[in-house]
Amino acid sequence: MGDKSYKEYLEHINTFIFDVDGVLTDGSVTIMTNGDMLRTMNIKDGYALKTAVDAGFNVCIISGGSNEGVRKRLAGLGIKDIFLGAHNKIDQLNDYLNSKGVKLEHVLYMGDDIPDYPVMKLVGLPCCPQDAVQEIKGISKYISHKNGGKGAVRDVIEQVLKVHDKWNGNFSARYD
């Protein structure tokens, strides 16, 4: 986990990048008789993604998978930068960051498996769900207490937005 607490990185984050399978989903696929593969995403993760977009954070998806249903779901949340079928995640990361003028140290990337490893070694705050593979846990500065597809994305977004005072889910102050 390094010498610094992961919380010291939160105030510097302006960009979220997420893998899909195993992060936004639990990694399971239901294979239909026609060959289509169905995935399930968590509504709470979706709320957090939309909240981050609405708060002005950069939100990007980089996934090796290429399911168009995934693209439609994420686009419906306001995410414009969705890169599916990305087999060289480092090239995709660099192209995206250059287009946005974002520095690596301002990026939170959440991945769960070996294809995410090279990208996670580069970013400021590499994170993973609780059920990520051991190699990814070993390089993560933060390991969520939630599993992939079960709120891990909400967990990291909520923490960052609270530090930036942009989390709109704090109703207790308004309704007490």
pLDDT, one tens digit per residue, over 101-145 is 999 999 999 999 999 999 999 999 999 999 999 999 999 999 999
**H helix or E strand, kind and range, residue 133:** none
Write the pLDDT tens digit of every residue in 15-72.
999 999 999 999 999 999 999 889 999 999 999 999 999 999 999 999 998 888 999 9
- What pLDDT, on a 0 to 100 scale, did the predictor assign at position 67? 87
- What pLDDT, on a 0 to 100 scale, did the predictor assign at position 5? 85
- Beta-carbon contacts of 43 under 8 Å, excluding residues fewer than 6 positions away, are none
Q: Is the pLDDT of residue 13 over 60?
A: yes
Write the pLDDT tens digit of every residue in 90-99.
999 999 999 9
Taking the domains of the chain in order of start, what are their residue ranges? 7-166
Claim: this prediction has a pTM higher than 0.75: yes
- Beta-carbon contacts of 76 under 8 Å, excluding residues fewer than 6 positions away, are none
Q: d(Cα 169, Cα 151) in Å, to the nearest integer?
A: 15
Q: Is the pLDDT of residue 172 over 50?
A: no
- What pLDDT, on a 0 to 100 scale, did the predictor assign at position 168? 81
Query: What is the CATH class of 7-166?
Result: alpha beta
Backbone dihedral angles phi then psi of residue 102, each to the nearest 5 degrees: -105, 140
Paired tokens of 54:
């609405």
Amino acid at 9: Y
- What pLDDT, on a 0 to 100 scale, did the predictor assign at position 1? 43
